[in-house]
Amino acid sequence: MSSTNPFTEEHELLRQSFRQFVETEIKPNVKYWEENKICEAEVFKKMGAQGFFGVSFPEEYGGSGMDMWAAVAVSEELSQANIGGLAMSLYAHTYLPLPVISALGTEEQKLKYLVPALKGEKIAALGITEPGAGSDVGGIKTIAEDKGDHFLVNGSKMFITNGTMADFIVLAVRTGEGHTLSLLIFDTDTPGFSAVPIHNKLGMHSSDTGQLFFENCKVPKSALLGEKDFGFYYIMSNFQEERLIASITGTAAAEAALEKAKKYAKEREAFGRPIAKFQVIRHKIAKMAISVEACRSLSYRAVAEYIEKGPGAYKIVSIAKAFVCEEAFNVINEALQIHGGWGYMEDFGIARSFRDIRLMTVGAGTTEIMHEIISKIEMDEVRHDKQLLKARV
Q: Which amino acid, one-letter code, is at 123?
A: I
Among candidate residues 168, 203, 231, the one where a domain is terminated: 231
Domain identity same for 143 and 201: yes
Q: What's the pLDDT tens digit per position in 330-374?
A: 999 999 999 999 999 998 999 999 999 999 999 999 999 999 999
What DSSP designation does 352 have? H
pTM: 0.93
Q: What's the pLDDT tens digit per position in 314-327?
A: 999 999 999 999 99
Q: What's the pLDDT tens digit per position in 56-106?
A: 999 999 999 999 999 999 999 999 999 999 999 999 999 999 999 999 999
Q: For residue 41, what is the enclosing H or E element?
A: helix 41-49
Domain identity same for 267 and 381: yes
Domain identity same for 226 and 237: no
Instruction: Please count the helices (runs of H) and the strands (runs of E) in the chain.
Output: 14, 10
The residue ranking higher by pLDDT, 177 or 62, is 62
The pLDDT assigned to 1 comes to 52
The pLDDT assigned to 387 comes to 47
Q: What percent of the chain has pLDDT over 70?
A: 96
In this structure, are strands 124-127 and 168-174 parallel, antiparallel, or unpaired? parallel
Residue 211 clears pLDDT 60, i.e. is over it = yes
Residue 360 lies inside a defined structural domain of this protein: yes
The pLDDT assigned to 138 comes to 80
Residue 3 lies inside a defined structural domain of this protein: no
The residue ranking higher by pLDDT, 14 or 239, is 14
Domain identity same for 195 and 292: no
Domain identity same for 176 and 289: no
Q: Are 68 and 306 in contact (CB under 8 A)?
A: yes
The domain in which residue 375 lies consists of 232-390
Among candidate residues 118, 134, 159, the one where a domain is terminated: 118
Domain identity same for 277 and 380: yes
Residue 215 clears pLDDT 60, i.e. is over it = yes
Q: Which residues are catalytically annotated?
A: 242
Q: Which amino acid, one-letter code, is at 50?
A: Q
Residue 384 clears pLDDT 60, i.e. is over it = no
Confidence of residue 382 (pLDDT cuts 50, 70, 90): low
Confidence of residue 383 (pLDDT cuts 50, 70, 90): low
Measure the N-to-C terminal CA separation of the chain; round to a whole number of Å: 25
* CA–CA dist 182, 171 (Å, integer): 8
Cα angle at 375 between 296 and 97, to 5 degrees? 60
Residue 375 lies inside a defined structural domain of this protein: yes
Residue 199 lies inside a defined structural domain of this protein: yes
* Burial (CB count within 10 angstroms: exposed 0-12, middle 13-18, buried 19+), residue 45: middle
DSSP track, 177-195 = STT-EEEEEEETTSTTEEE
The pLDDT assigned to 386 comes to 44
For residue 46, the domain's CATH number is: 1.10.540.10
* CA–CA dist 83, 102 (Å, integer): 28
Domain identity same for 208 and 74: no
The pLDDT assigned to 351 comes to 97
Domain identity same for 264 and 280: yes
For residue 128, the domain's CATH number is: 2.40.110.10
Kindly state the average pLDDT of the residues 306-311.
90
Domain identity same for 38 and 166: no
- CB proximity list for 29: less than 8 A, separation 6 or greater: 40
Region label for 159, one of left (φ > 0), alpha (ψ between -120 and 50) or beta (otherwise): left
Q: What's the pLDDT tens digit per position in 15-72?
A: 999 999 999 999 999 999 999 999 999 999 999 999 999 999 999 999 999 999 999 9
Residue 41 lies inside a defined structural domain of this protein: yes
Domain identity same for 225 and 237: no
The pLDDT assigned to 134 comes to 77
Kindly state the average pLDDT of the residues 246-271.
97
Kindly state the average pLDDT of the residues 170-190.
94
Q: What's the pLDDT tens digit per position in 123-135?
A: 999 999 999 887 7
Residue 107 clears pLDDT 90, i.e. is over it = yes
How many domains are there within the chain? 3
Residue 1 lies inside a defined structural domain of this protein: no
The pLDDT assigned to 317 comes to 97
